[in-house]
Structure 1
């Protein structure tokens, strides 16, 4: 984390990570001169059911593969190692200790519900927001005023790709190579992720888990 003054944070389930995630990171770097955008797969999203999803360690591995050729997009298993339900405020507190200026990347849907997030009123103390919208035409009065004051927007972002749709496509036997990076596509096939609607919240081989633990 040395020499990183402006750090972007892109959190989420990444189940799986896809091209829109990478596009968000690239645009944020260019528009706001971020030094890095850190991908942070959650352990468990407080708002989502994990049935039929890939395990946390599968998702961390896929993020590593998706960003393999992207020097400015590090991946951390911080939330996975912490375990339990992942709350963004806890991660912001941890990363603030690095001394970097934090910029949290969000899609519009997430932004419009941020008032319901744990300790959202503390966000101005820890970060600024970068919100991606399709056309900039939306009503944000539901967002607390103190949050609106720390928010910057990137408009014209129109990549209607969702991890939910990708999982459904895999389950129905459709190809996804244009939606994810080649290595992620191969990985999903190798481990037969999302092929069946079952609980895949199991750990993969211990050596892979130990690799990430060693890298923390």
Structure 2
């Protein structure tokens, strides 16, 4: 996937990391909005292998999550999927992923796309200050949500590296989708049809 990006000769790349268990329409809306608003040439979804903040939580097999991410993004030419964290193994730290992209894609502006809540906790991430030097961040905010806290304290130094992205209030979450499947409630229109079909075929989330 990274070789394809090099051939594409891109200038601005969005990286969207996540567990994607499963990927849903909220992820896709956020990525599309980020690509449009910040003129990204491509957005690469990077399913995590072992997210460090979920070590106590049961996570669906990485290959299933990778395939679902491909199914969800394959009809958008601006989207791509990378196996980087899955093939690397071990705990999936954002700093390691960003540094690998930077090493392979010289002179490309990197934008890491995440939620506003995560941004406000970024200094709990591994090598957070180095990470903020390595790339810019796009923080997706819900209607009525503000990143005003970025103007306070330690964030003051980095606020020019963090950009807000206002998206529609889609009340969709991977946790809710998993729970719905477990108890037999519908998930249609919350995620792509291809992903819904894959979940049914593989009988995912029936038992947690």
Instruction: Name the TM-score, length of structure 2 as normaliser.
Output: 0.90
TM superposition shift of 1:124: 3.1
1:177 match: secondary structure: coil
Among 31, 37, 47, the alignment partner of 1:41 is 47
Task: From the superposition, tell whether residues 119 and 171 of structure 1 become closer, same or farther in structure 2 (CA, over 3 Å).
Answer: same
Partner Cα distance (2:182, 2:58) in 1: 10
TM superposition shift of 1:49: 3.8
2:114 match: secondary structure: strand
Deviates more, 1:63-72 or 1:157-166: 157-166
The answer as to 2:206 corresponding to 1:195 is: yes
Task: From the superposition, tell whether residues 61 and 142 of structure 1 become closer, same or farther in structure 2 (CA, over 3 Å).
Answer: farther
Report the aligned-residue RMSD.
Answer: 1.5
Partner Cα distance (1:72, 1:156) in 2: 18
Deviates more, 1:102-111 or 1:157-166: 157-166
TM superposition shift of 1:156: 4.4
1:149 match: secondary structure: helix
The answer as to 2:32 corresponding to 1:26 is: yes
Q: Match of 2:146?
A: 137
Among 85, 105, 123, the alignment partner of 2:131 is 123
Alpha carbons 1:43, 1:79 under 8 Å: kept: yes
Instruction: Name the TM-score, length of structure 1 as normaliser.
Output: 0.86
Detail structure 1 runs of 4+ shifted over 6 Å in the superposition: none
Partner Cα distance (2:59, 2:193) in 1: 20
Partner Cα distance (1:143, 1:175) in 2: 44
Task: From the superposition, tell whether residues 143 and 67 of structure 1 become closer, same or farther in structure 2 (CA, over 3 Å).
Answer: farther
How many residues end up aligned between the 2 structures? 197
